[in-house]
Amino acid sequence: MIKRIDHVALAVKDHNAAEEFFTKLFGAIPGPGAEDSSMKYIWRNYILGDLSRLEILSPTGEGSFLDGFLQNKKGGIHHVTMQCDDIYETKKFLEDSGIPYFDFNDYDNWKELFIHPRDAFGLLIQIAQFEAEHWISEKAVQKEKFLVRKKDSKTTISVNHPGGGIIEINLTNEERLKLIEKLKR
């Protein structure tokens, strides 16, 4: 049912300070983001390393849905988003299992529902159906699907991961030769 954890969402009062912290200290690459004026918040995704993503949420004014969450703190983990193949199958599974959910939404490129923390051991869970490439920063994707670089006796293979980011595999000369033999078969 669940393909992977897509991202962890961090709610903060000061979006700029959080962005500076994660981009300068950890090298996070800013990705897609938007403002939702009806719920009074902004969000942006950041890629960390090869496959990890962080979403930063911040209120844009009084009456934001984040006000209660941030009332007595500067920030904290707001929710974890898990990707699924079929949100309708997931919804039926939750119903059949007696697990309540709320805020079911079916948008063009994003379908989601939430499980309340009281029903998930204190964690707000967002389950979503989407194509990851719609939400990946172009800075975190190489132009070719894979690249091969050879330097001295080492070979590095870089592969675009469909969930975002780039995976690098370093091979010794012996491992490279074994790979070549396997590919010939």
Chain segment 117-167, per-residue pLDDT in tens: 999 999 999 999 998 777 777 777 777 888 899 888 889 998 877 666 778
Round the average pLDDT of the chain to a whole number and report it: 92
- Tokens for 131, please give them: 């194509």
Taking the C-alpha atoms of residue 101 and residue 61, their distance in angstroms, rounded to an integer, is 27
What is the model's pTM?
Answer: 0.80
Q: What is the model's pLDDT at position 163?
A: 66
Q: What is the model's pLDDT at position 127?
A: 98
What is the 3-state composition of the chain as percent helix, strand, coil, each rounded to the nearest 5? 25, 45, 30
* Residue ranges in the chain modelled with pLDDT below 50: none
**Which residues are CB-neighbours of 51 under 8 A, at least 6 positions away?**
161, 163, 164, 165, 167
Residues of the chain with CATH 3.10.180.10: 2-135
Contact criterion met (CB below 8 Å) for 47 and 31: yes
Task: Report the percent of the chain where pLDDT is more than 90.
Answer: 70
Domain at 2-135: CATH code? 3.10.180.10
